[in-house]
Structure 1
Amino acid sequence: MTVRCTLGVDIGTSSSKGVLVDETGRIVAVATRAHEVSRPRTSWVEMDAHLWWDEFVSLARELPERAREQGIDPEISAVGVSGMGPCVLLADEHDEPVRPAILYGVDMRAGAQIARLTDELGADEIVRIGGSTLTSQAAGPKIAWIADEEPEVFERARRLFMPASWLVRRLTGAYVLDHQSASQCSPLYDVEAEAWHEPWWDRYASGIEPPRLAWAGEVAGAVTDAAAAAAGIPSGTPVITGTIDAWTEAVSVGAHEDGDLMLMYGTTMFLIATGTETLRTPSMWTTVGAFPGTRNLAGGLATSGALTAWLKGITDADYPALLAEAEVSGRGARGLVLLPYFAGERTPIQDPDARGVIAGLTLDHTRGDLYRAALEATALGVRHNVETMRAAGADIRRIVAVGGGTQGGLWLQIVSDATGLVQEVPRTTIGACYGAAFLAAAATADAPPRIADWNPVAHTVRPDPDAATYYDELFERYLRLYASTKELVHELAAEQRRALPQGAMA
């Protein structure tokens, strides 16, 4: 049976994932390729961009075979792409990467460049033009870092890519970047003008051709003969521009309308509040949205699933056992408070030298208590971000949860209890690859689909009213613990940079 499908592929931090989706939104086939980042030095996080294309090709060839095993002959009508970001991949005039890609806010190497650009341009002017203060999330300082620290590499750079735009280039030959990704290249993009800010581009990205700008759901081009031969996708198939995975994930669950907040439970926790007004606050990220006329206030925890995976690794336990033990541990983890800053922290404290702290440990505590404390710590981190967003003027009326962490009911319930938020959980939470497939269908179908039809809400998670007072007190302790340990922890972070071997920590 021949079925028209769209192909969606997302290049993530720990894996690449692809789906084939039919015209009703049903997933026909899914496949994943696990990979690891490179951590060549403390606070550096990189990846070889050749891997992105190799995994795309592998997924594009495997997915139709998986569909055929079910008696379905997929006819790929369009291709959607997304990827982690903002990343900095510089390539030469032949589109050969000049160095590994520098990843998003988890890579914190550009502290000196953040300080220098802020001093040179002025913090207020950077916020006026680009929307946000410069932090480890911004791509601009990382470009400046390459120019400063690897000048011979920068001399060869002619083009700027992120994972989605790299796939588009390989598939279609188009050199294009979406507006949302571009707005995270601060200070090189003007948020209000929705255009590259030429004076600052010329100053800090001289010699690099600015990519053409388009919106995430716009068709960037068509699959070339060469790409068709490599990936097995018919030549001439439309390919959308795509965007950063968190924003594509918001699309996948319909959390991209005015008043929506998306919570993405992944390796890190990401939050995106959508509105129509440009909101600015020093501790969060102001960007344009995935669609014309929208603006976002975004935030992200540096760890989330990465923290639970770390605990799983050091305890040699599986997730079901840890979740069961955490449930037995109960609210408050029997008197533990944990700061989840094991890889520094992004928003709202913007502190790359923050570190994890576990307070209250005794010989009676178990791995289940530690796991419960980690889940509660990420929930309190979400609360800290949400309260900061609302203080900046974000009108959050609807919360949608997405990502791998939504598969565990306990984690969702703890987040709702700690924040007081009702969370909607859609039927499909597979992530950004599904959103990419939807954008491809919406851009090319004769009758564009609605994501509410493709992916309706399956259930809601409501906060336990009896938990409110307890988590109010725990949140206050959480904030006090950071404030009271910050100075010492910063000393330890400096010591770690001196003492630990290269690549020993993020």
Structure 2
Amino acid sequence: MRCTLGVDVGTSSTKGVLVAPDGTIIATTAREHDVSRPHTGWVEMDASIWWDEFVDIARELLAAHPDAEVVAVGVSGMGPCILLADENDQPVRPAILYGVDTRASAQIERITAELGVDEITRIGGSVLTSQAGGPKIAWIAEEEPAAWARARRLFMPASWLVRRLTGAYVFDHQSASQVSPLYDIESERWHAPFWGRYATTIVQPRLAWAGDIAGTVTLQAAESTGIPAGTPVITGTIDAWTEAVSVGAHETADLMLMYGTTMFMVFTSAVTPGEPALRTPSMWTTAGAFPGTRNLAGGLSTSGALTAWLKELTGADYPQLLAEAEASGVGARGVLMLPYFAGERTPIQDPDARGVIAGLTLEHTRGDLYRAALEATALGVRHNVETMRAAGADIRRIVAVGGGTQGRLWLQIVSDVTGLVQEVPETTIGASYGAAFLAAVAVAADGEAPLITDWNPITERITPNAELRTAYDTLFDRYVRLYDGTKGVVHELAAEQRGTSSHSTPEES
């Protein structure tokens, strides 16, 4: 039985899937893990988790299906993450995660002052924020000099798995474009002057596209994983982009909306000769997953993380909370929430933002709070969509993906708040499925590559309720004003939170 193996390393779990040539899912499995938050604003992960869980998943799936013939391997992972390793591929410290890790604020400010906003956006496409990889590299150099002295290579989860599987040291263009300002978005290559200034000791990875074959499984990796030596492995990319591939939301004018631990949005546009990529200071301009494409992307720092927090806080299960949230009704009986419980990424780009719950009374219930949390994430999505459109994004089609799509109430609220139809595909397993698809395409004979529309057709459309438009327009106005009205006090509280937490580094303690 020929098949492809797709594995994705996410924020809270690693997922694997075996997929038949026609897109049928043969088997899936997952391993849950946690991030480390050693200080306020820090979010890290031990890279050994990525490889260990890949090995466990591969062995479990292959043992359960001994007749499976894996013809190619697809990988993806959360990002942009910054993992630095020495010349022997030993990590010099835990990986620093994407925009939810806000430690590099001083480096962002300094590099922006040194290079200038215009030059940074001209080269990298986006202003520097907590999402950018370059300032986090600079943070390690400045704050952990012993670790920096040993650093020679740069990885993210997908490139780390490729390295362990094949020995190839390669980055995909999409991931590279998020190591801003070290990548030139227009010429699609590392920017040597900035690299030489901020990543001096790091060897530049070779660049490829997400679906390109990076190499083949080595004998050593075959012994560890059970995957036959010589099996092709694709370069892979960041999970949100692989999720977009998994549901066919990677064509021009598509917007992928990923419901996960965080909420992520990716709009795709075509490269037009002589015209620069779409740019706006409050979003991220990146290379696409495929040649000839660019993306305008955004993300909420919390979505599933917020609903999970409420679940743990209240002791109720998700079916209970969803039923109570549905009964609460539009506007959560006068409760309005800002979902900035881990700071916020786009479009406000404010790592010192914090969660706010306004309008609470003694009569309110956990169902009202849960409804307010669902509406808060939907309002955050609307804020991003409106910002993208103001930048020139011609959004014609929205496809929803991720674990949150299993709850139709959340999907309906997002459509009602944004006024947008969401298409839901048959399979919403996510990035691991997209990685398996890219692997299948990579090894297909000429003219025989599968189509994602055949693998994963659209089976449902969530249509907004026009009668709720006025109510949610009012709520969105209040949402924006609530942030503006509370920002000053919240920033003082954030500074106090930082001041009361230890800032000793692992090298100092």
Deviation at 1:64, TM superposition (A): 1.9
The correspondence of residues 377-396 of structure 1 with structure 2, limited to 5 A, is: 377-396=376-395
Q: Which amino acid aligns with 2:172?
A: D
Aligned twin of 2:174: 180
Partners of 2:326 and 2:409 in 1: CA distance: 7
Percent identity for Structure 1 against Structure 2: 75
Q: Deviations over 1:47-66 (max 9, x none)?
A: 11111000000000001233
Aligned twin of 2:34: 36
Aligned twin of 1:297: 296
Checking the alignment, whether the CA contact within 8 Å between 2:62 and 2:226 is kept in structure 1 is no
3-state SS in 2 of match to 1:334: helix
Work out whether 1:197 is the aligned partner of 2:197. Answer: no
Q: Which amino acid aligns with 2:331?
A: G
Partners of 2:183 and 2:106 in 1: CA distance: 21
Q: Deviations over 1:60-83 (max 9, x none)?
A: 000123335xxxx11000000000
Q: Deviations over 1:363-405 (max 9, x none)?
A: 0000000000000000000000000000000010000000000
Deviation at 1:448, TM superposition (A): 0.7
Work out whether 1:161 is the aligned partner of 2:147. Answer: no
Checking the alignment, whether the CA contact within 8 Å between 2:7 and 2:435 is kept in structure 1 is yes
Aligned pairs, number: 497
Q: Which amino acid aligns with 1:33?
A: R
Deviation at 1:488, TM superposition (A): 0.6
The correspondence of residues 452-463 of structure 1 with structure 2, limited to 5 A, is: 452-463=453-464
Partners of 1:44 and 1:296 in 2: CA distance: 27
Aligned twin of 1:16: 14
Deviation at 1:501, TM superposition (A): 6.1
Q: Deviations over 1:190-223 (max 9, x none)?
A: 0000000001101100011000000000000000
Partners of 1:65 and 1:398 in 2: CA distance: 40
Partners of 1:498 and 1:101 in 2: CA distance: 24
The correspondence of residues 260-339 of structure 1 with structure 2, limited to 5 A, is: 260-277=254-271, 278-339=277-338
Aligned twin of 2:208: 214
Checking the alignment, whether the CA contact within 8 Å between 2:39 and 2:501 is kept in structure 1 is no
Partners of 1:149 and 1:477 in 2: CA distance: 40
3-state SS in 2 of match to 1:82: strand
3-state SS in 1 of match to 2:41: coil
Aligned twin of 1:415: 414
Partners of 1:345 and 1:339 in 2: CA distance: 10
Aligned twin of 1:26: 24
3-state SS in 1 of match to 2:100: coil
Q: Deviations over 1:255-300 (max 9, x none)?
A: 0000000000000000000001510100000001000000000000
Partners of 1:343 and 1:86 in 2: CA distance: 17
Deviation at 1:14, TM superposition (A): 0.2
Work out whether 1:48 is the aligned partner of 2:49. Answer: no
Work out whether 1:67 is the aligned partner of 2:42. Answer: no
Q: Deviations over 1:238-257 (max 9, x none)?
A: 00000000000000000000
Deviation at 1:495, TM superposition (A): 1.1
The correspondence of residues 124-139 of structure 1 with structure 2, limited to 5 A, is: 124-139=118-133
Q: Which amino acid aligns with 1:354?
A: A
Out of 114, 118, 121, the residue aligned to residue 112 of structure 2 is: 118
Work out whether 1:152 is the aligned partner of 2:137. Answer: no
Aligned twin of 1:84: 78
Q: Deviations over 1:464-500 (max 9, x none)?
A: 0101111000000000100000001101111111235
Partners of 2:451 and 2:503 in 1: CA distance: 48
Aligned twin of 2:371: 372
Q: Which amino acid aligns with 1:251?
A: V
Q: Which amino acid aligns with 1:319?
A: Y
3-state SS in 1 of match to 2:65: helix
Deviation at 1:133, TM superposition (A): 0.1
Work out whether 1:495 is the aligned partner of 2:496. Answer: yes
Checking the alignment, whether the CA contact within 8 Å between 1:348 and 1:388 is kept in structure 2 is yes
Q: Deviations over 1:415-464 (max 9, x none)?
A: 00000000000000000000000000000022110000000001000000
Partners of 2:126 and 2:442 in 1: CA distance: 30
Aligned twin of 2:362: 363
Cα RMSD after superposing both structures? 0.9
Gaps of 5+ in 2: 272-276, 505-509
Q: Taking structure 1 as the reference length, what is the TM-score of the superposition?
A: 0.97
Partners of 2:379 and 2:240 in 1: CA distance: 20
| Gap change, CA 1:438 and 1:58, over 3 Å in 2 | same
Checking the alignment, whether the CA contact within 8 Å between 1:79 and 1:440 is kept in structure 2 is yes
Q: Which amino acid aligns with 1:412?
A: L
Q: Taking structure 2 as the reference length, what is the TM-score of the superposition?
A: 0.97
Q: Deviations over 1:81-103 (max 9, x none)?
A: 00000000000000111111000
The correspondence of residues 217-236 of structure 1 with structure 2, limited to 5 A, is: 217-236=211-230
Checking the alignment, whether the CA contact within 8 Å between 2:173 and 2:210 is kept in structure 1 is yes
Partners of 2:354 and 2:88 in 1: CA distance: 41
Deviation at 1:502, TM superposition (A): 6.9
Aligned twin of 1:107: 101
Partners of 2:268 and 2:65 in 1: CA distance: 36
Checking the alignment, whether the CA contact within 8 Å between 2:13 and 2:33 is kept in structure 1 is yes
3-state SS in 1 of match to 2:15: strand
Checking the alignment, whether the CA contact within 8 Å between 2:111 and 2:135 is kept in structure 1 is yes
Partners of 1:311 and 1:51 in 2: CA distance: 27
Instruction: Detail structure 1 runs of 4+ shifted over 6 Å in the superposition.
Output: none
Gaps of 5+ in 1: none
Q: Deviations over 1:315-341 (max 9, x none)?
A: 000000000000000011001110000
Aligned twin of 2:136: 142
Aligned twin of 2:471: 470
Checking the alignment, whether the CA contact within 8 Å between 1:29 and 1:64 is kept in structure 2 is no
Partners of 1:502 and 1:356 in 2: CA distance: 23
Partners of 2:501 and 2:141 in 1: CA distance: 26
